[in-house]
Amino acid sequence: MGTLESERLLLRPWRDEDIEAWVALCADARVMEFFPATVEGAESERTANRLRLLHERDGYGWWVVRTREDPAFIGAIALQRVPFEAAFTPAFEIGWRFFPSAWGKGYATEGARAALTFAFDRLELEEVVAMTATFNHRSRRVMERLGMTHDARDDFENPRVEIGHRLRPHVLYRVKRGAGRTSSEAP
C-alpha cells in the first residue's frame, strides 16, 4: 500500500532510516540552491516526520524514492495540495528533490510520471500543477519533459518567500488529465 513502481524506481512510504537521509538532503547547498536557505537538523527532522504521517494517513504525499537495485534513499517525489492560497489554488502540485548523485539519470522525470499517473488514475484529478523559482532551469526542464505547459500569465510571487527575495518570483506549469503523459518519453 502506498508504493508506486516505474521501470527503474520504487516510490515507497517512509521508514525510520529515511528521516536521517531527508535531513542530509535538505542540508545540502546544491539541493537547496533555489530555496531561500538550507534547512538544518531538528527542523528537517520535524518536516520528515510530518511528511511520513501524511503519507501514512493519505497513501500519497511525499514518497521516498529508491532504485529497484539499491534500497538507498536517493530523493523524494511529492503529490500534494498547494499549501498556500494563490490565483491558481486550490490545486494539486507535484514536486521533486534528489541528491546530486542521482541527477542526470532521468529519475526525477520518471518518478514524477508515476506520481502523475497516480494523480490522474487513482485520485481522478483533472489537472496537476508544478512550480519553481523562475531561474531553476533544471526543475523547469523536468516539467517540460513531463509535457507540462507554462503560461507567463500564471507567473506569481511565492508567498512563502520573503518579499524582495530573488527567489520569490515563481513559474507555474500545468498538465491536464490525458495530456502530456505520452509525450517526450525520452529526456
Q: Which residues bind ligand COA (CB under 6 A)?
A: 31, 34, 95-98, 103-109, 132, 136, 138-139, 141-142, 145, 187
Residue type, 93: E
CB of 145 to ligand COA, least distance (A): 6
- The answer, yes or no, to whether the previous bond of 90 is cis (omega within 30 of 0) is yes
Residue nearer to ligand COA on the CB measure, 59 or 67: 67
DSSP state of 126: S
Residue type, 138: R
Distance CA 26, CA 40 (A): 7
Residue nearer to ligand COA on the CB measure, 19 or 142: 142
Residue nearest to ligand COA (CB): 106
Residue nearer to ligand COA on the CB measure, 163 or 186: 186
CB of 129 to ligand COA, least distance (A): 11
What does the CA dihedral 119, 122, 126, 130 come to, rounded to 10 degrees?
Answer: 0
Residue nearer to ligand COA on the CB measure, 59 or 106: 106
Phi, psi of 9 (to 5 degrees): -125, 160
